[in-house]
Structure 1
Amino acid sequence: MNFLASPPLVVAYALAGSLHTDLLSDPLAKDADGNDVYLRDLWPTEEEIREVVEANVRAEMFSDGYSNVFDGDQNWQGMHVPEGDAYAWSTDSTYIRKPPYFNGMTAEPTPVRDISGARVLALLGDSVTTDHISPAGTISPKSPAGQYLQAQGVAVKDFNSYGSRRGNHEVMIRGTFANVRLRNLLAPGTEGGVTRHLPDGEQMSIFDAAMRYQAEGTPLVVIAGAEYGSGSSRDWAAKGTTLLGVRAVIAVSYERIHRSNLVGMGVLPLQFVEGTTAESLGLTGEEVFTITGLADGDTLPERVTVTADDLEFDAIVRVDTPAEEAYFRHGGILPYVLRQLL
């Protein structure tokens, strides 16, 4: 069993042989005469500690030990370091690639627009966690991420994990919504990152569908149930969502941090009005969605109108604070911060 403790306590528990030992009242062991030995018998006094420190600790131990801390070993000294004020992105690296968050960014934010002609990338149920959304774990050779790495000349044995390649957005977006336990109701009977491209209905990976939609200029939405984004806060759950081309998520309810992260990446979180769900409204995910009420306002509205083919319903805008609204208007927190610096 692992635990965090001071080094003397680690030794004391080792002597006792059990973490269930109460070090304040239970003996650690017996001495040669069979007498109980307690932690208090072994624990040094402040005076004893002071004597040892004064007799053994010298300032030069630290000054000598840290005198060459920035020199590094031969491997470090032999590294080629590019010159210049900007990071030299490598086009060959499969671990760190220049992210696309600032591509096409203008000095001033573009006005917030309504969303028109959107398709559903995923129709999800309740309790979809960030583990379902965010890339995690090993990379399957048959997955879009695995196929990408093999196309880059990476052997399967060298795939490593999504976590180790989190600096490569090409890998990470291919792993978004790719959890093997994800169930997309738009592709019934499947499990994993599978969807249908509409209107032709061809079944394919969520990544491949998203790229086809992007090529067609089609914005995307995700529809979900209650507690969307619950679990640990994973930044790639929001990053991957926006890079796939998702403009809005419509859910019954959100986990607080993931909702905020979506706003921070420029994705609009919308919430069904209380008492309504995708199921109660009869949504199949095959509809064409239009979201109106966002454009031409000095502030974001409290509600917007969502049209799905012939169905029309209201949705609550879950951009909850003025700071979040500023991030959203800038297309996310990263363009917002860069514009503040400019």
Structure 2
Amino acid sequence: TRVLCAFGDSLTTDHISPSSEIPVDTPAGQYLVQAGVAPRNFNTFVGRRGNFEVMVRGTFANVRLRNALTPDREGGWTLHFPDRALTTVYEAAQAYQRDGIPVIVLGGKEYGTGSSRDWAAKGSALLGVKAVIAESFERIHRANLIGMGVLPLRFREGEGWCQLGLDGSELFAFEGVEAGVAQGRPMRVIATGSNGTVIRFEVQPEVRTAAERHLMAAGGLPKSVLRDLLETAPACA
């Protein structure tokens, strides 16, 4: 498991899924250009929210976004590991998905604060994000992440990715995931750096109710609904 992005405190849902006009020189803008849409007709991300191809490309693409993996650049940029290639968040996510590598996001306090923008969770899931590890979560965004099958994990009190000495380049492994989701037990995380340094720590799954546990076990609301429909569908004669 690799880190797609790492953020500080108070990352808003607008940082994650912007409402702004769509810049032409971004993955979302280039998708529209290739679809034959003139830049003057791009509209905003809000205006295109029915187009998942645009919205997933716009996730973590706010022009004012500050990703700690690329501290000298604003916008939807990140590093792809282990080669540390500078690329867009969308292109890095696509590369990880092609290679079958799950990704996570690191955050600080109040992750997902701001308006309850559902695409902030939807876009994260479509990018292949399996979990977000943060110091705390905004209530509605935490629930939206669970609804999309993205596991919210909380650092122990007084800990965070900076305090633990993480920089986002590590390879992550998780232990006790099933018990963590089903029983609320702490999960163990092992982060291995490129030089072999190992950092071990615990995180607390922020899955609080039986309904949320059911959703996480099913992989999120869309998969849960599909499974329920398949289970209740009458057999063909």
Q: Which residue of 2 aligns with 1:247?
A: 130
Corresponding letter in the other structure for 2:81: L
Q: Which residue of 2 aligns with 1:313?
A: 201
TM superposition shift of 1:298:
8.9
Q: Give 1 or 2 for the bigger CA radius of gyration.
A: 1
Cα 1:297–1:263, aligned 2, differ >3 Å: closer, same or farther?
closer
Q: Select 2:5's aligned residue among 107, 114, 122.
A: 122
Are positions 1:228 and 2:111 aligned together?
Answer: yes
Segments of structure 2 that go 5 or more residues without pairing to the other structure are: 193-197, 231-237
Q: How does 1:12-51 map to 2 (within 5 A)?
A: none
Q: Is the 8 A contact 2:181 2:216 kept in 1?
A: no
TM superposition shift of 1:214:
0.6
Q: How does 1:210-229 map to 2 (within 5 A)?
A: 210-229=93-112
State the alpha-carbon separation in 2 of the partners of residues 247 and 339 from structure 1: 20
Q: Which residue of 2 aligns with 1:325?
A: 213
State the alpha-carbon separation in 2 of the partners of residues 137 and 170 from structure 1: 16
Are positions 1:155 and 2:24 aligned together?
Answer: no
TM superposition shift of 1:301:
3.7
Corresponding letter in the other structure for 2:204: I
Query: Structure 1 stretches (4+) deviating beyond 4 angstroms?
Result: none
More strand, by proportion:
2
State the alpha-carbon separation in 2 of the partners of residues 237 and 296 from structure 1: 27
TM superposition shift of 1:297:
8.1
State the alpha-carbon separation in 2 of the partners of residues 242 and 330 from structure 1: 14
TM superposition shift of 1:341:
3.0
TM superposition shift of 1:153:
1.0
Segments of structure 1 that go 5 or more residues without pairing to the other structure are: 1-117
Cα 1:246–1:298, aligned 2, differ >3 Å: closer, same or farther?
closer
State the alpha-carbon separation in 1 of the partners of residues 72 and 15 from structure 2: 17
Count of aligned positions: 225
Q: Is the 8 A contact 1:294 1:301 kept in 2?
A: no
Q: Select 2:170's aligned residue among 265, 287, 291.
A: 287
Q: Is the 8 A contact 1:263 1:327 kept in 2?
A: yes
TM-score relative to the length of structure 2: 0.92
Corresponding letter in the other structure for 1:324: E
SS in 2 for 1:275: coil
TM superposition shift of 1:216:
0.9
Are positions 1:167 and 2:50 aligned together?
Answer: yes
Q: Is the 8 A contact 1:172 1:236 kept in 2?
A: yes
Are positions 1:258 and 2:146 aligned together?
Answer: no
Structure number with the bigger relative contact order (C-alpha 8 A, sep ≥ 6) is 2
State the alpha-carbon separation in 1 of the partners of residues 5 and 207 from structure 2: 22
SS in 2 for 1:163: coil
SS in 2 for 1:181: coil
Corresponding letter in the other structure for 1:316: Q
SS in 1 for 2:163: helix
Segment drifting more, 234-243 vs 159-168? 159-168
Identity %: 54
SS in 2 for 1:179: coil
Q: Which residue of 1 aligns with 2:227?
A: 339
Corresponding letter in the other structure for 1:294: V
Q: Deviations along 1:7-46, whole A, 9 cap, x unmatched? A: xxxxxxxxxxxxxxxxxxxxxxxxxxxxxxxxxxxxxxxx
Q: Select 1:274's aligned residue among 157, 176, 179.
A: 157
TM superposition shift of 1:163:
1.2
Q: Is the 8 A contact 1:266 1:327 kept in 2?
A: yes
Q: Is the 8 A contact 2:131 2:151 kept in 1?
A: yes
Q: Is the 8 A contact 1:294 1:300 kept in 2?
A: no
State the alpha-carbon separation in 2 of the partners of residues 221 and 244 from structure 1: 10
Q: Which residue of 2 aligns with 1:107?
A: none
State the alpha-carbon separation in 2 of the partners of residues 300 and 219 from structure 1: 23
Q: Which residue of 2 aligns with 1:198?
A: 81
Q: How does 1:77-116 map to 2 (within 5 A)?
A: none
Cα 1:152–1:298, aligned 2, differ >3 Å: closer, same or farther?
closer
Corresponding letter in the other structure for 2:217: R
State the alpha-carbon separation in 1 of the partners of residues 112 and 164 from structure 2: 22
SS in 1 for 2:202: strand
